[in-house]
Structure 1
Amino acid sequence: MTDIETRGILLPRLGFGTFQMTGDTCRAAVESALALGYRHIDTAAMYGNEAEVGAALAACGLPRDALHVTTKVWHDQLAPDAIRRSMDASLEKLGLDHVDLFLVHWPSPQMNLPAAMATLARLEEEGLTRAIGVANFTLPLLKRVVEEIGAPIACNQIEYHVFLDQAPIRTYLAGHGVPVTGYCPLARGAVAESAELRAIAGKHGATPAQVALRWLLDQGEVAVIPKAAGAARQKENLGALGLTLDRDDHAVIARLPKAQRFVSPPFAPVWDAA
């Protein structure tokens, strides 16, 4: 497993997402992932599974400094006092005294962005999180965070896969030393249906999911957080680390449609804002 160094933390490049996992299913999945070698676990207050994630972390027997845990504050909790309450509740459910990365889950038109980022920075100063960041921020919002506010963000977590071009955001962030964490990296199963990805997978004795993940990992300072409830699929995803795509493979993937978005809730920002 390789890491991305960002704002004083090491972000394992292939992590484990827990969106829509709850209860015993979530706990068992996280325990399995940790046993297989995952060390980057991603959760959020909104997921309703932080207690189960915390139980799995407690049961794994690994030292705390061997683990990376990300959680997030929901978009209706971005007033300073609400952010702090969200952090306190997350730590209590996770059974931790700190997380490694604390993100604004989604931007909100009503948020006071400077105040929100200042609150996150204070939480970092107090040792409740080792680093701070954002998720689902557009390029104009990122420019406000980085250039106007000067917030020391460690990443922007965004939907990113072979069918969605995020080059403008990645290029901007790379210029400021900020990596991307890609969620929904398997495009909600669409990669398995792609004839082009199946052909590349057959050429390498791999799977379309492994090809899709390897392509993302080849895009520079990018971490990915696929989710998988079963150990077999978790192990399959880890296999992407040992796959090498050649120039022809990358050329084929470059020609795939790149404007397909699977995650765009009603409260999402205007994605194509300049």
Structure 2
Amino acid sequence: MGIGTWYPDQRQRCVDSVLTALGHGYRHVDTAQQYDTEKYVGEAIQRSDVPREEITVATKVRPSNLSYDRVLESTKESLDALGVETIDLLYVHYPLKAYDVEETMAAFTELYEQGLIDNIGLSNYSIPLLDEAMDVLDVPVFAHQVEMHPLLQQQHLLEHARKHDYWLVAYRPLVGGKVMEMPALIDIAEKHDVTPAQVSLAWLLSKERVAVVPKATGDHVAANWDARQLELTADDVARIDAISREERTVTRESSVMIHDEPMPWEET
């Protein structure tokens, strides 16, 4: 489990969230150039008592920076903002705008060979785009980050991750709080004396090759972390698996990320 940091223009909230998470045992911090929080994450890491080598720092290259030269330049800007010598996991945020599979993957490979990044990740890809990128890369893909939760279960992407041995990292795992209103999760939560949010996180973590990066502040940071100890029954998991309603919260029109071209999943 990692801590998400989409808190644009909210320095203290982001710093406090990351410091609280590291204090509770989190060792994976997820940010992005697009979030404008890399400098806040870097500040929290510097202030934390947790050694840098124990923390996995992940960030993402924004779509407008995905040309060969801008990948290299902007990643160095991210390194400076984060105050680290190496980024543990660098993602393509969306394969849009300046993205060109040959040029972009060549730049990521160069960063890897220079030791500036330890692992290569992709985010918001369709399976055809995943296969295309993996064919071009000489370095194995370490992770693919996508919206994933009980209302968007991404089974086809999970099967692809397992087949190719990389992590599927779930963002928006609480559907923006909507899990608190879902009857199946409420029932399961009452049975285990936990919250529906913890049920959603435990359900995701029960899946082989799945990690989660919920955004949280205050007491929710610890509550999310405690979901790691929740053991759902096979019937609990099956009940959530059977939810047929589907809802995607990240779209071209969403407040999280706005693009004027089709999203990768809209093209396939």
Q: What TM-score do the two structures reach when normalised by structure 2?
A: 0.93
Q: Distance in 2 between matches of 1:242 and 1:52?
A: 29
Whether 2:66 is the aligned partner of 1:71: answer no
Structure 2: which amino acid aligns with 1:200?
I
Q: Note if 1:158 corresponds to 2:165.
A: no
Q: How far apart in 1 are the matches of 2:160 and 2:44?
A: 36
Structure 2 stretches lacking a partner, 5+ long: 253-258
Q: Hey, what's the Cα distance between the residues in 2 that align with 1:268 and 1:41?
A: 29
Counterpart in the other structure of 2:256:
none
CA RMSD of aligned residues (A): 1.5
- 1:221 lines up with 2:209 in the alignment: yes
C-alpha distance in 2 between matches for 1:92 and 1:216: 33
Corresponding residue number in structure 1 for 2:222: 235
Alpha carbons 1:165, 1:258 under 8 Å: kept: no
Q: Which has the higher contact order (CA 8 A, sep 6+)?
A: 1
1:117-147 Cα deviation digits (max 9, x unpaired): 1110110111111111110011110010123
1:86 to 64, 74, 97: 74
- Is the Cα contact below 8 Å between 1:181 and 1:224 reproduced in 2? yes
Matched, 1:248 2:242: no
**The residue matched to 1:223 in structure 2 has which SS?**
strand
Amino acid at match of 1:73: V
Cα distance between partner residues in 2 of 1:72 and 1:79: 14
The 1-side partners of 2:163 and 2:148 are apart by 19
More moved, 257-266 vs 121-130 = 257-266
Deviates more, 1:105-114 or 1:79-88: 105-114
Amino acid at match of 1:198: I
Shift in Å, 1:19: 1.1
2:174 alignment counterpart? 186
AA partner of residue 220 (structure 2): R
SS of corresponding position for 2:211: strand
Deviations 1:83-107 (CA, angstroms, capped at 9, x unpaired):
1111111111111111100011011
Q: 1:256 is matched by which residue type in structure 2?
A: I
2:189 is aligned, of 196, 201, 207, to: 201
The answer to whether the Cα contact below 8 Å between 1:138 and 1:269 also exists between their aligned partners in 2 is no
Secondary structure of 1:41's counterpart equals strand
C-alpha change, 1:134 and 1:236, in structure 2 (3 Å) is: same
Cα deviation, residue 173, structure 1: 2.1
Structure 2: distance between partners of 1:192 and 1:271: 27
User: Structure 1 residue 258: deviation in Å?
Assistant: 4.7
Cα distance in structure 2, aligned partners of 1:82 and 1:172: 29
Structure-1 separation of matches of 2:97 and 2:215? 29
CA displacement at 1:272 relative to structure 2: 5.5
Corresponding residue of 2:13: 25
3-state SS of the aligned residue for 2:191?
Answer: helix
CA contact (8 A) 2:124 2:264 kept: no
Identity %: 36
Contact 2:95 2:264 in 1 (8 A): no
The structural deviation recorded for 1:169 is 1.3
Separation in structure 2 between the aligned mates of residue 179 and residue 171 of structure 1, nearest angstrom? 11
> Does the residue aligned with 1:271 lie in a helix, a strand or coil?
helix
CA displacement 1:222-253 (0-9 Å, x = unmatched)? 000001121x1111101111101112211221
Q: SS of the counterpart of 2:63? A: coil
Q: CA deviation at 1:165?
A: 2.3
Structure 1 residues 260 and 60, CA, compared in 2 at 3 Å: closer, same or farther? same
Select between 243-252 and 264-273 the one with higher mean Cα deviation.
Answer: 264-273
* Distance 1:116-1:148 versus aligned 2 partners, 3 A rule: closer
How many aligned positions are there? 260
- Equivalent position of 2:161 in the other structure: 173
